[in-house]
Amino acid sequence: MLMRAGQQCSGGKNYWESPKELNEAILDVIIMEQKAIIAKAILILEGKEHDRLVKTQKFVDELQEKIKKTQEDRTSCAQGSAPDTKDAQFTDNQQPQVETA
């Protein structure tokens, strides 16, 4: 049975059942056009996969940039060049805590 969505009002159903004859005709068309329908569905899925991969790659690139910056900061500290701590305050255990405005 095929249904068409709609708006519920006055306690009625929020869908309409299509006539049996129409259901049969639609299923016949789907069977006749199944290769084209499947091809279009695959294109849609491939497009969605592409979009997810692009978003994932952007996320990975951002993480790699953070890793690179962290490694550069560690390297500069190891070579005697400390990061900017002009706004840092030290506690009793000498761990810097930067104040935020």
pLDDT by residue for the chain (101 residues), tens only, comes to 565 555 555 556 656 678 889 889 999 999 999 999 999 999 999 999 999 999 999 999 999 999 999 888 888 777 766 556 566 565 556 555 555 55
Prediction pTM value? 0.48
The answer to whether 4 touches 26, Cβ cutoff 8 Å, is no
Question: What does each C-alpha distance from 69 to 39, 56, 83 come to in angstroms?
Answer: 45, 20, 12
Query: Is the residue at 50 inside a domain?
Result: yes
Query: Is the residue at 39 inside a domain?
Result: yes
State the residue range of the domain holding 42: 35-77
Q: Which residues contact 26 (CB under 8 A, 6 or more apart)?
A: 2, 18
Beta-bridge partner residues of 89: 97
In the structure, how many helices (H) and strands (E) does the chain have? 2, 4
Q: What is the CA radius of gyration of the chain?
A: 30
Total domains in the chain come to 1
